[in-house]
Structure 1
């Protein structure tokens, strides 16, 4: 009996180990790909487009992918009786505007003024902003070690920002403020989406929110300028936009969700630290951005603080329970 059970147990261990390795690879790849959207946006800016052009192309080209995902998830939700109510649809509309339209618009706008390494570092403050939202909006308690971690995070960002001011110029302040606005907008999305994720599932929510944000982006574009401006751009702009839509928008979402199913939300989230680190070196390699010792030290300080805040059970707003 025990002899026959042993191969089964060993097989189970092998399968679990394999699933964990695949989950780690998916989480790491998703973090790098999602961060690389800043690289592609910077490359597009070289051809005379601006943040609204970049966002409209990204959202428009990724829309068919998310529509297919949304239809699949809706069929699954219907089978298990988890279709969104009218109230849910209203909240999804708000979340779509906050999480993928406003946040992305401010992010791409900020990228016109700051290097990609600083942009990703500011966006990486999301867990700390969610914690502060929990404090002021929900009356959650914040432990002493969390305050210390917050202080460490923001001290690291200030250190990197001051160094970028020295290297890049005063426009870094405007860009940093815009990217921080993007981080706050996305943190609001995270803090408000908890109950919906529980009821609808993360993929269904993301697909619906992306459809809403695409509509908001295209409406903004049509109000701000002629739709014909999106046509006749250099082919490189469309190539980078297609890569952004597929490799830096759709795939990171699906990779991250697949990683969560194999590792759990807490373990998968820890691999997001790879994003800011990868952009420090990708920005230097692809875009020729300068790397200084102070920038590296500041990046390490921020990563350490965010890891402390993001440990399971540390967040005042429990992201893992969404």
Structure 2
């Protein structure tokens, strides 16, 4: 039976995980200020995270061996690692070169609505009227948040927002498609393997397209890459998993609502970004819409 102490411990883990994960966009923007490009900072993130996931994969190698894995399971593991962590991260980092970190988090936060769409399209799962209204509310909030920014900055905001939306779409595809595969590997093992696939994809991508010398950046870029890998990737992934295990996915949906808020606060403190009252209202509308979708689904 779940005790109150255990429940609130799960809430604390969830809040800490969400805040750390939300700091990624801010640190990426800081790295851009020091002259880093999207592909290079993505490389540093994966390069520093890779050893952690290798160690985790080796530790859990012989766990959850009740289900016999087939060759096709590893094929789909590669596919979902490619889509969910490599493509999603790449689109996200590209999008951040065009828009504010706070606006990035608002768009990424709509991925539960995309999960509903994919489940409806692929598995014919019903979407309730309440969820439809919440989805419309969510996207209305996104329009509110971006409308003023487009007028001030220009078309590049739409370009950046498009890349971030692609990131949300690919991540939602990963969540929907990998659902049947995760129980075969186990959550921790699957995450570690998928992240290793993503890391290798990033390494190949960098070696093929980058014209930048690996050692040409200032020391701040490498430190930020390390911080993104450890504190905005590895640690929050396990904190969030532990939180969901203790408080349930429905309760975590409420905790996750702090994500856009924490990104906005961190962006104000470290980047000097400022959202207008209209944009803040838009962010609040998005958060309310996603909470309704997630709680109804849970």
> Which TM bucket (shorter chain)?
over 0.9
Q: Which residue of 2 aligns with 1:8?
A: none
Q: Which residue of 1 aligns with 2:81?
A: 96
Q: Which residue of 1 aligns with 2:200?
A: 215
Q: Which residue of 1 aligns with 2:243?
A: 259
Q: Quick one: which of 122, 134, 137 aligns to 1:152?
A: 137
> How far apart, in 2, do the equivalents of 1:89 and 1:294 lie?
47
CA contact (8 A) 2:39 2:210 kept: no
Listed as ranges, the gaps of 5+ residues in structure 1 are: 1-11
Report the secondary structure of 1:39's partner residue.
helix
Report the secondary structure of 1:75's partner residue.
coil
- The TM-score with structure 1 as length reference comes to 0.89
Return 135-144 or 120-129, whichever deviates more: 135-144
State how 1:1-322 maps to structure 2 within 5 Å.
16-78=3-65, 81-82=66-67, 84-225=69-210, 229-311=213-295, 314-315=296-297
> How far apart, in 2, do the equivalents of 1:26 and 1:89 lie?
31
Once the two structures are TM-superposed, the CA of residue 18 in structure 1 deviates from its matched residue by 1.9
Once the two structures are TM-superposed, the CA of residue 70 in structure 1 deviates from its matched residue by 1.3
The higher radius of gyration belongs to: 1
> How far apart, in 2, do the equivalents of 1:56 and 1:71 lie?
22
> How far apart, in 1, do the equivalents of 2:69 and 2:14 lie?
28
Once the two structures are TM-superposed, the CA of residue 29 in structure 1 deviates from its matched residue by 0.6
> How far apart, in 1, do the equivalents of 2:156 and 2:119 lie?
32
CA contact (8 A) 1:122 1:183 kept: yes
- The TM-score with structure 2 as length reference comes to 0.96
Listed as ranges, the gaps of 5+ residues in structure 2 are: none
CA contact (8 A) 1:55 1:105 kept: yes
CA contact (8 A) 1:124 1:276 kept: yes
CA contact (8 A) 1:74 1:83 kept: no
Report the secondary structure of 1:195's partner residue.
coil
How many residues get paired?
Answer: 298
Report the secondary structure of 1:63's partner residue.
helix
Report the secondary structure of 1:230's partner residue.
coil
Runs of 4+ displaced beyond 6 Å: none
Q: Which residue of 2 aligns with 1:9?
A: none
> How far apart, in 2, do the equivalents of 1:303 and 1:241 lie?
29
> How far apart, in 2, do the equivalents of 1:183 and 1:43 lie?
22
Once the two structures are TM-superposed, the CA of residue 232 in structure 1 deviates from its matched residue by 3.2
> How far apart, in 2, do the equivalents of 1:131 and 1:219 lie?
33
Once the two structures are TM-superposed, the CA of residue 300 in structure 1 deviates from its matched residue by 0.7
CA contact (8 A) 1:146 1:309 kept: yes
Report the secondary structure of 2:273's partner residue.
coil
Q: 1:280 to 1:187 in 2, by over 3 A?
A: same
